[in-house]
Amino acid sequence: MGQAWPNPAVGCVIESGGRILGRGWTQPGGRPHAEAMALDQAGARAQGATAHVTLEPCAHVSARGPACAGLLVAAGVARVVTALTDPDPRTAGAGHAHLRAAGIAVTTGVLADELRQDLAGFLLRFAQARPFVTLKLAATLDGRIATQGGESRWITGAPARALVHALRARHDAVMVGAGTVRADDPLLTVRGMGALRQPVRVVLSRALDLPADGALARSVPEAPLWLLHDGTAPAATVARWEGLGARLLPVASGPGGIDPAALRSFSPTSSLRRARINSARSGESVSIAARSASMRALINRASERSASTAESASGAGVRRLAFKLAAMDSRAASSRPS
């Protein structure tokens, strides 16, 4: 998750008689596909074997690579087992049909509910033209995200902060409002997780009133930066950010800031599969998350009283709450047509 965009994260295992012959998963940037990687590992042993794939093999030929359904036919596999039909109109059942036409036995619907949860972002992209949204909040037990003066930097422990980076790595984008950028000067990158593809950093700022020499400005070469604004920013400000390498995207706004309804249907952001919204002092990002039809809340709560209490509060009880909320969202996602 978070490494295969713009493609879905797909896995493939090729086996015969219970022996695994090849394994593959969608590579960073979307290619090679999982089936191609698994078939390369299996080689000639794929003849007569069974391919287990989480999503229907693609049926369309791309400039980036061949159709996976055709690769499986050419390899001579005897059976293909999948969880879901691909909602992408370029495939949408054509991959299964191509396999069956070649005499390959096809079984689908295996562990479909589990895969609808894993691929919720990909499915929502085609069902509702928007990403799966995760709202991340770091709050004290009394519901605060900072002191009144704003001087608190961290209210969670090291394990919770490591989890935050792991969550970032599983998303295509991380979104914040301009108020968070001005107050916290965040990088919004994945750190401490090895060499991973960085998520797109999306900032909502109507007037582009952001620190010119802040962390985001300095780190554009390290991670993509999209700035969503309402088109009223001075031309010189737009040119400066474009000169740094940021992508400037005008979008409709209203009295309360960037219009959430417009954002959800906005082509660049609707192409994202999984987007994470960080809590914002200005409330702008939280407002957009709250008005999203599907939202998972992961709440890292910590006590301000002591480090030991903080570690305890960010442990099992909060994880149970997070999983409960995630399950609620996953059930909602799985109930929508794919």
Which residues are known to be catalytic?
35
For residue 7, give the amino acid letter: N
Strands 105-107 and 50-55: unpaired
Look up tokens 């409002």; give the residue. 177
In degrees to the nearest 10, what's the CA dihedral of 107, 108, 109, 112? 120
Output the six-digit token pair for 52: 């287990």
C-alpha 51/C-alpha 36 separation (Å) is 11
Question: Of the candidates 180, 174, 162, which has an alpha carbon nearest to the alpha carbon of residue 134?
Answer: 174
Residue 154 class from Cβ within 10 Å (0-12 exposed, 13-18 middle, 19+ buried)?
A: exposed
- The one-letter code for the residue type at 167 is L
What is the DSSP code string of 248-266?
EEE--EETTEE-HHHHHT-
Report the candidate in 108, 79, 97, 70 with the shortest Cα–Cα distance to residue 16.
79
DSSP string covering 163-207: HHHHHHHTSSEEEEEHHHHHHH-------SS-S-PPPEEEEE-TT
> Looking at the DSSP assignment, which residues form a beta bridge with residue 274?
132
